[in-house]
Amino acid sequence: MLRNLICVFVLLLSSLAFGQQCEIAVNAIKTSGDAITGLGTTDFTAEANKRPVSVDSAQYENEQSRRVILVFDTDRKLPANHLKLETDFANSILDAAKPGDSFGLLTSSSKTDVKLGSDREAVRTGLGRLLTGRSDKRGGTLDRVADAIDWFGSPQLGDSVVVFAIDTLDDHKISVRDVTRRLAEHQVRLFGVSLGKLQRSNSAATMTGTTYRGLGEVRPENPISADTGDPDFLPISVNSGGYLAPQNSIPTSDAQKLRFRKTAELMAGLIDQFYAVRVKAPGNGPIAIGLAKPAPDARLLYSHTLPACGKQ
């Protein structure tokens, strides 16, 4: 009996000393936005709390179904053509997603919500209703993101929220810090479509956006827009492992419409397919994932905060 207790105690100390298993969704993409496939465990490096940690495995996940919640700020008075642009983007995600993916729709009014797991056509119908009139207000964009996290329930690797909004500078009740923390705890990735103020120039951050070459990293020295906008939304999205897709104007030419649709398809692809990277880390805290052989045309998207390790 005493020997068994000693063994358990030793195992407990070992787990604390050497860390527990954490699984992180990681996208490796080219500047074009296309996925980089064929990577293995030895191709990734990791640091937790600025200290090297071991990468135990890196498995490319492209078969499992995902859960995705679309969040629309329907309280803002968007011009009809801008709202149509948002719903077109959402429908393009639905078109490009795997048949087994599960979707839900959250808006500024419970009357237009579509519960997660509903038939995909019900989500399309819900998107269509957004174009027919305004809904009553029930909180800000960040509040809806918090609601989406609650809808997921038990975390599943790859859970994603896609936000369609002008900004987050409204009367939201939840704080930016709390949303950021809850996204990390529940392993939820935040993607977004940026119309206007969400798209911004920030000398301290980079973002992933559309350029003439496709979907890729936009660096501070080459900002897409001079709009200052909201100082919180971009870091929330990038730090959760997602990104913002900027849209300056309504697509009019065939080339612009094709690029717009391709951006939605790329977003759907990155939500569906990623590397499940398992690291041994001491627990919650900052995490940095890298490539053993960095490439100038490569960018990694992943949550910058460890989830509650050992609970997968």
* Structure tokens that stand for 261 in this block: 């649709």
- Other C-beta atoms closer than 10 Å to the C-beta of 292 total 12
HSE on the CB side for 134, CA within 13 Å?
8
- Cα-Cα-Cα-Cα torsion 260, 263, 268, 273, nearest 10 degrees, comes to 160
Strands 160-165 and 189-194: parallel
Q: Looking at residue 141, what is its pLDDT?
A: 84
223-249 exposure pattern, b = at least 16 Cβ within 10 A, e = fewer = bbbebebbebbbbbbbbbbbbbbbbee
Is 128 within 8 Å of 84 (Cβ atoms)? no
How does pLDDT run across 90-103, given as a tens digit for each residue?
Answer: 999 999 999 999 99
Q: Looking at residue 170, what is its pLDDT?
A: 59
Q: Where in the chain is the domain with CATH 3.40.50.410?
A: 67-272
Q: What does the alpha-carbon distance between residue 107 and residue 269 come to, in Å, rounded to a whole number?
A: 24
Is 230 within 8 Å of 194 (Cβ atoms)? no
How does pLDDT run across 209-251, given as a tens digit for each residue?
Answer: 655 455 666 555 444 333 444 567 777 888 898 887 777 677 8
Looking at the predicted structure, is the pLDDT value of residue 62 above 70?
yes
pTM of this prediction exceeds 0.75? yes
Strands 207-211 and 214-218: antiparallel
Reference 276, options 98, 24, 97; nearest CA is 24
- Looking at the DSSP assignment, which residues form a beta bridge with residue 163? 71, 192
Q: How much is the mean pLDDT over the chain?
A: 80
Packing angle, helices 141-152 and 176-185, rounded to 10: 20
Fold of the CATH domain 67-272: Rossmann fold (3.40.50)
The least confident of 29-43, 122-136, 165-179 is 165-179
Looking at the predicted structure, is the pLDDT value of residue 196 above 70?
no
HSE on the CB side for 85, CA within 13 Å?
24
Is 72 within 8 Å of 108 (Cβ atoms)? yes
Strands 189-194 and 102-106: unpaired
For the segment 50-71, the average pLDDT, to the nearest whole number, is: 94
